[in-house]
Amino acid sequence: MYSEKVMDHFAHPRNVGEIENANAVGLVGNAKCGDIMKIYMDIQDNIIKDVKFKTFGCGAAIATSSMATEMVKGKTVEEALELTNKAVMEALDGLPAEKIHCSVLAEEAIRDAIEDYRKRQNA
Amino acid sequence: MSKSVYMDNNATTYLKKEVLDAMMPYYTDIYGNASSKFYAVGREAEQALYKLREKAAKLLGAANVNEIYFTGSGCEADNWAIKGVANAYKRKGNHIITSKIEHHAILGACEYLEKHGFEVTYLDVDEYGRVSPEAVEAAIKDNTVLISIMTANNEIGTIEPIKEIAEVAKKHKIVFHTDAVQAIGHMPINVRDLGVDMLSVSAHKFHGPKGVGLLYIKNGVRIDNLIHGGGQERGKRAATENLAGIAGLVKALEIAVENLDKNVEIMRDKRDKLIKGIQEKIPYCRLNGPVGDDRLCNNVNFSFQYVEGESILMMLDMNGVAASSGSACASGSLDPSHVLLAIGLPHEIAHGSLRLSVGEDTTDNDVDYIIEVLPPIIQRLRDMSPLYEDFLKGENK
Q: Quick check: is B376 in a domain?
A: yes
Q: What is the pLDDT of residue B330?
A: 67
- Indicate whether A78 pLDDT > 90: yes
The residue annotated as part of the active site, out of A19, A72, A102, A114, is: A102
For residues B235 and B274, membership in a common domain is answered with: no
For residues B267 and B390, membership in a common domain is answered with: yes
Task: Look at chain B and report how many structural domains it folds into.
Answer: 2
- Residues of chain A contacting B384 with CB distance shorter than 8 Å: 13, 16, 54-56, 62
Q: Quick check: is B283 in a domain?
A: yes
For residues B284 and B153, membership in a common domain is answered with: no
CB contact under 8 A, A54 and B389: yes
- Indicate whether B331 pLDDT > 80: no
Domain boundary (B258, B287, B316) is at B258
Structural contact between residues B234 and B93, judged by C-beta atoms closer than 8 angstroms: no
Domain CATH code at residue B69: 3.40.640.10
Every domain of chain A and the residues it spans = 4-122
Q: If you count residue pairs, one on A and one on B, with CB atoms under 8 Å apart, how many are there? A: 69
Q: Tally Cβ neighbours within 10 Å of residue A21.
A: 6
Does A102 qualify as catalytic in the annotation? yes
Q: What is the pLDDT of residue B33?
A: 93
Q: Quick check: is B7 in a domain?
A: no
For B23-34, what is the mean pLDDT?
95
pLDDT band at B91 (very low <50, low <70, confident <90, very high): very high
Buried b (16+ CB within 10 A) or exposed e, A77-97: beebeebebeebbebbeebee
Question: With a CB-CB cutoff of 8 Å, which residues 68-97 of chain A face chain B?
Answer: none
Return the ∠ at Cα B343 (arms to B337 and B389), rounded to 5°. 70
B392 in A contact zone (CB under 8 Å): no
Q: Quick check: is B208 in a domain?
A: yes
- Residues of chain A contacting B317 with CB distance shorter than 8 Å: none
For residues B60 and B174, membership in a common domain is answered with: yes
CA B153 to mean position of chain CA atoms: 6
Range of the domain at B38: 17-258
For residues B249 and B272, membership in a common domain is answered with: no
For residues B147 and B277, membership in a common domain is answered with: no
In this structure, which topology does domain A4-122 adopt according to CATH? Sufe protein. Chain: A (3.90.1010)
For residues B333 and B371, membership in a common domain is answered with: yes
Q: Quick check: is B202 in a domain?
A: yes
Q: What is the pLDDT of residue B397?
A: 62
Q: Tally Cβ neighbours within 10 Å of residue B38.
A: 6
For residues B49 and B65, membership in a common domain is answered with: yes
Chain A: give the shortest CA distance to residue B351, in Å: 6
For residues B208 and B345, membership in a common domain is answered with: no
- Of all residues in chain B, the one with the smallest CA distance to A52 is B384
- Indicate whether A87 pLDDT > 90: yes
- Residues of chain B contacting A27 with CB distance shorter than 8 Å: 386
Q: Quick check: is B195 in a domain?
A: yes
Domain boundary (B240, B258, B276) is at B258
- Indicate whether B48 pLDDT > 80: yes
CB contact under 8 A, A98 and B314: no
Domain boundary (B208, B243, B258) is at B258
For residues B306 and B351, membership in a common domain is answered with: yes
Residue range B312-326, pLDDT digits in tens: 999 999 999 999 998
Structural contact between residues A43 and A21, judged by C-beta atoms closer than 8 angstroms: no
- Indicate whether A25 pLDDT > 80: yes
Q: Is B192 exposed, middle or buried (0-12, 13-18, 19+ CB in 10 A)?
A: exposed
For residues B144 and B161, membership in a common domain is answered with: yes
Q: Quick check: is B1 in a domain?
A: no
Q: What is the ipTM of this complex?
A: 0.95
- Indicate whether B44 pLDDT > 60: yes
Q: Which residues, at least 6 apart from A13, have a Cβ–Cβ distance to it below 8 Å?
A: A53, A62, A63, A65, A66, B384
B84 in A contact zone (CB under 8 Å): no
For residues B194 and B76, membership in a common domain is answered with: yes
B336 in A contact zone (CB under 8 Å): yes
Which of A34, A54, A60 faces B336 most closely, judged by CB atoms? A34
For B65-70, what is the mean pLDDT?
98
Residue range B228-274, pLDDT digits in tens: 999 999 999 999 999 999 999 999 999 999 999 999 999 999 999 99
